[in-house]
Amino acid sequence: MKLWKKILIAIIVLSAIGIGLIGFGIFEAHEAYKNKIEPDMKRYVTMTQQEQDEYVLSKLELLYSLSNKKDNSSEYQAAINALKTDPAVRKAGLVWGRSLCAVIITNSDDIKATLSPQDKEKYATEALDFDAKSKYFQTEIERVMPKKM
């Protein structure tokens, strides 16, 4: 068999493996959403404003670790400490977390179908400017990071 045929077969096999791994990753992400995130968001929409705030603050460290590389560096530890103690970081995190929950809710047809028109508008408003809220939260996190020498 010629070299180009062997290379072509190898490329096809590697492509098939890659597509399979991507498909498995998407399946796992979908299962995690259906089993964990969606039920949490269904409970979230039934909570009062104060309960929602408490929920977001209790999950803030987890949300931050999912959106940023989790490691044991001094920067990561400083960010986690700030999430627990710094009022400005907690406030920015609360706004960001509420917006993240609103984005999930507004993108879920199952959850949106159970909401009143007022609630739909409330969550759509909270979901607005998610990128700006993320940048503000990141700015607050960076403010408390140890200075590099």
Q: pLDDT by residue for the chain (149 residues), tens digit each?
A: 677 777 777 787 777 777 776 766 665 655 555 667 778 888 888 889 999 999 998 888 887 777 676 666 777 788 888 888 889 989 999 999 899 889 888 888 888 888 899 999 999 998 888 889 989 998 988 887 766 65
Decide if 140 contacts 122 (C-beta within 8 A).
Answer: no
Dist CA 64 CA 76 (whole Å): 10
Dist CA 51 CA 44 (whole Å): 8
Dist CA 96 CA 56 (whole Å): 9
Identify the burial level of 38 via C-beta atoms within 10 angstroms of its C-beta, where 0-12 means exposed, 13-18 middle and 19 or more buried. middle
Tell which residue, 111, 140, 142, 137, has the closest CA to residue 124: 111
